[in-house]
Amino acid sequence: MFYQRFCQRFSHSIRQDVATNPKELLQFLKLNRGLFFIRSNKVTLVKNRPSEDGSENGSDEGDLESNNNSVFPLDQNALARIHFVKALKPAQELVERLLQDIHNQERKVVGLDFKTVTVGIDGELFLSLCVVATQSQIGVFDLASSDVIIMESGLRDILENDKITKVIHDARRVGSLLAHKYAVHMVNIFDTQVAHSVLQHEKFGKPLHDLRSISFVNLQRVYYPQSIMLSDVTPRKLSQSPK
């Protein structure tokens, strides 16, 4: 019954990434006991589970343990750690702070993302945003305002540094664009798209070239649903400043 409701609520693409039968769904729920409470055929969010006296026993959304994210708790306060720059000088200063964070980390790892835009009738591709995240802050670089930011701010040094691991989802197209248009060659990349494909290959035995790609949002649903379900951060425009 619960699996039937799961199928009715979620699209086929999401079900393919989470569970394709009742047994897989149960395994998924058990792997995320910190988020789901299972009793008989009823599944509820832990934060909404009634206590023994019938009162709500929800976790405080501001509690770091409730959202299982001690680095960036998923609340409005985390927005103060996001820094948006669109000029060279502020970009250089931000890169210096990011590099200092990286230097202080035991493992030299950053999260990385890019946004692209297509311009003209020929569909020429450009980078519009670059996002670099350390354990304490997130830098958002407006590359649409000036190409010089990626070349002279120090971003290139991070991307080409083989001592810094760059965690990114589906790096193939962006990596090719960086190399051919900006002469920037990323190294030491951990691609979560590739990692997911390898895990799916090991689980189902399908050839890697037959496996479907997965969006980053669906990747979160599979491996870290807390980051979506327990977040109280609503989408906002980059022009909006945290209050």
Task: Average the pLDDT over each of 38-52, 53-67, 135-149, 155-169 and give the range with the smallest value.
Answer: 53-67
207 beta partners? none
What's the confidence (pLDDT) of residue 96?
96
Q: Which fold has domain 78-165+173-185?
A: Nucleotidyltransferase; domain 5 (3.30.420)
User: ∠215-219-222 over CA atoms, to 5°?
Assistant: 140
User: 165 — phi, psi (to 5°)?
Assistant: -80, 130
Nearest by Cα to 169 from 139, 206, 142, 131: 131
Residue 35 pLDDT class (50, 70, 90 cuts): low
Helix or strand or coil: residue 147? coil
CB 208 within 8 Å of CB 197: yes
Q: Does the pLDDT of residue 162 top 60, yes or no?
A: yes
Q: Which residue has the higher pLDDT, 40 or 234?
A: 40
Q: Which residue has the higher pLDDT, 240 or 158?
A: 158
| Whether residue 4 has pLDDT greater than 70 | yes
Q: Is the pLDDT of residue 146 over 90?
A: no
Q: Give the mean pLDDT of the chain.
A: 76
Output the pTM of the full model.
Answer: 0.64
Mean local confidence (pLDDT), 173-193? 93
CATH 3.30.420.10 in the chain, residues?
78-165+173-185
